[in-house]
C-alpha cells in the first residue's frame, strides 16, 4: 500500500512505546510531503540527536514537493472548511498523488470524501 504519513505519524514512529506503529509502517510504501519535513525537523524543541534521528527516518521515504496541483487542491479544501495550512497541503498531496493518508488525527480529514484515511492507532471495524 502506498501511503502518505501525516507529521504526527512520523513523530510517533520514533517514540519507543509505539513499536506496533513501526511494525505497521514497515509493510507500506511510505511517502511524505515536504510540509511534514518542515513540521518535524523545524520543531524548535528537538535536540540535535532527535533531529538526526528524524532526518534519518525520513531519508528513505519518497518526498513530495508542493506543486501547483497541490496548491490548487489545498486552496479548494480551505475554501470548503477551516483547516490549518499544513493539514490542507498534506491532504492535497495525498489527493494529488493518489495516496492513502496515515494519521492519528483522522477526524481532521474525514470530511474530505475523496481522501482515503487510515488511523493505525484504531482497530479496524
Q: What is the pLDDT along the chain (125 residues), one digit of tens a residue?
A: 999 999 999 999 999 999 999 999 998 999 999 999 999 999 999 999 999 999 999 998 999 999 999 999 999 999 999 999 999 999 999 999 999 999 999 999 999 999 999 999 986 65
Q: Which residues contact 60 (CB under 8 A, 6 or more apart)?
A: 30
- Helical (H) or strand (E) element with 118: strand 117-118
- In 3D space, the residue among 86, 106, 117, 102 whose CA is nearest the CA of residue 28 turns out to be 102
Q: What is the pTM of this model?
A: 0.92
Given the candidates 3.10.310.30, 3.40.50.970, 3.40.50.10330, 3.40.50.1010, the CATH classification of the domain at 9-118 is 3.40.50.1010
User: Which one-letter DSSP state was computed for residue 111?
Assistant: T
Length of the chain: 125
Q: What are phi and psi of 114, to 5 degrees?
A: -85, 0
Amino acid at each position: 500500500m502506498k501511503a502518505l504519513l501525516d507529521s504526527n505519524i512520523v513523530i510517533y514512529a520514533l517514540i519507543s512505546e509505539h513499536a506496533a506503529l513501526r511494525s505497521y509502517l514497515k509493510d507500506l510504501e511510505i511517502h511524505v510531503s515536504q510540509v511534514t519535513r518542515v513540521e518535524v525537523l523545524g520543531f524548535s524543541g528537538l535536540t540535535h540527536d532527535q533531529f538526526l534521528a528524524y532526518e534519518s527516518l525520513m531519508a528513505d521515504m519518497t518526498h513530495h514537493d508542493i506543486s501547483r496541483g497541490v496548491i490548487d487542491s489545498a486552496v479548494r479544501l480551505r475554501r470548503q472548511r477551516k483547516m490549518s495550512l499544513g493539514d490542507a497541503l498534506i491532504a492535497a498531496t495525498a489527493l494529488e498523488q493518489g495516496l492513502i493518508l496515515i494519521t492519528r488525527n483522522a477526524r481532521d480529514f474525514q470530511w474530505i470524501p475523496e481522501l482515503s484515511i487510515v488511523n493505525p492507532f484504531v482497530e479496524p471495524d
